Amino acid sequence: MDEADQANISNGIEKVLRILAAAGAEEIGTHHKNGRVLRVKLAGKEEFERFVEEESLRPSGNQSSPISSAHQMGSCRMGVDPTCSAVRPTGESWEVEGLYVADSSVFPTALGVNPMVTIQAIAYCTAHSVLEALGRKKL
């Protein structure tokens, strides 16, 4: 990884730690082999801020587990029937009006190939569905 990658990872870790704490996590930590865990509700603001800064600025090299990414496919299936799909063909949730999903989770199952172009196409089509829905709501 180059410096920009490390900066992006550090920024992402900082944001994730803050989001987890704000969402009510009892403990937060990172994947770093020398990382620590913080019991959020027992920590004061100063301790929390110090923890987030120290953990997000740790170098990402030489981890006990590799940094990787995966396409989580099929966990929020798109379909025409709400009993066997989570979102409509437009990408809008069956259960929550105005909530759209535009990633590989809308696939019917996992693919055996890199789905980059397919994900881009789904995101593009879903974005148009959002624009159409917003256009209908204009006063």
pLDDT digit string, tens, across residues 75-94: 899 999 999 999 999 999 99
Alpha carbon distance 63, 61 (integer Å): 6
Decide if 64 is inside a domain. Answer: no
Q: How confident is the model at residue 109 (pLDDT cuts 50, 70, 90)?
A: confident
74 with 137, same domain: the answer is yes
pLDDT digit string (tens) for 39-67? 999 999 999 999 999 999 887 766 666 67
Alpha carbon distance 61, 5 (integer Å): 11
Q: How confident is the model at residue 98 (pLDDT cuts 50, 70, 90)?
A: very high
**Catalytic residues, which ones?**
71
Decide if 131 is inside a domain. Answer: yes
How many domains does one find in the chain?
2
Decide if 63 is inside a domain. Answer: no
Which domain does 81 fall in, by range? Answer: 69-139
74 with 131, same domain: the answer is yes
Note if the pTM is more than 0.75.
no
88 with 134, same domain: the answer is yes
Task: State mean pLDDT over 122-127.
Answer: 96
Q: Please list the residues that pair with 93 across neighbouring strands.
A: 87
